[in-house]
């Protein structure tokens, strides 16, 4: 038996400790948003965020995630990356996209203002449909959105709206 915290909920699962986390989440918890691709840690379609890091869960023993917060695409709340993915219309077939999104979310936490080279170097998930250019644009869009959200002044410092001008008097 293993206890795993997935999307904020503690689950007890009857699996061998070396069962890949991907299969525990998909087959035992029924969360099938995270996809299986290569099964060898190469393509990234199985990416979840575990303790803040984007990990390829087809090669991650479930026992390694005990006591960690596990976030899957189903548990990702409203987020600038999601908005940017929609705005840039990133997905084509969509199969790799949950992994791409989770990778981008974790990446922006470590590098909020990435260059193209940073993205190329760190967001290495594969996409058979070749959506790489739109992924790059969406990551830049999400980075800008995050930056402007954090630049919004606190409510107490927002100036009060000006009083409306009095109506013009008739001649």
Binding string, residues 20-49; x marks residues near ligand FES by CB under 6 A: ----------------xxxx-xxxxxx---
Site for ligand FES contains 96 (CB under 6 A): yes
Could you write out the DSSP letters of every residue in 106-141?
A: HHHHH-SS--HHHHHHH-----TT--HHHHHHHHHH
Site for ligand FES contains 92 (CB under 6 A): yes
Sort 11 into a burial class: Cβ within 10 Å, 0-12 / 13-18 / 19+.
Answer: middle
Q: Which residue stretch of 61-69, 71-79, 123-131, 147-155 sits at the interface with ligand FES (rule: CB under 6 A)? A: 123-131
Pick between residue 19 and residue 92 the one whose CB is nearest to ligand FES.
92
Q: Which residues bind ligand FES (CB under 6 A)?
A: 36-39, 41-46, 56, 58, 91-97, 127-129, 131
């Amino acid at each position: 038996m293993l206890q795993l915290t997935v999307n904020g909920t503690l689950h007890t699962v009857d699996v061998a400790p070396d069962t890949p986390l991907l299969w525990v989440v998909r087959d035992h918890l029924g969360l099938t948003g995270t996809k299986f691709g290569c099964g060898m840690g190469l393509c990234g379609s199985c990416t979840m965020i575990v303790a803040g890091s984007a990990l390829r869960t087809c090669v991650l023993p479930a026992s390694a995630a005990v006591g960690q917060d596990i976030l899957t695409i189903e548990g990702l709340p409203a987020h600038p990356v999601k908005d940017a993915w929609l705005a840039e219309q990133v997905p084509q077939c969509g199969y790799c996209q949950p992994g791409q999104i989770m990778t981008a979310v974790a990446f922006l936490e470590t590098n909020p203002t990435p260059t193209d080279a940073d993205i190329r170097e760190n967001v290495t998930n594969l996409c058979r449909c070749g959506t790489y250019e739109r992924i790059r644009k969406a990551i830049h869009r999400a980075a800008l959105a995050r930056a402007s959200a954090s630049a919004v002044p606190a409510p107490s410092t927002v100036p009060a709206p000006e009083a409306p001008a009095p109506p013009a008097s008739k001649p």
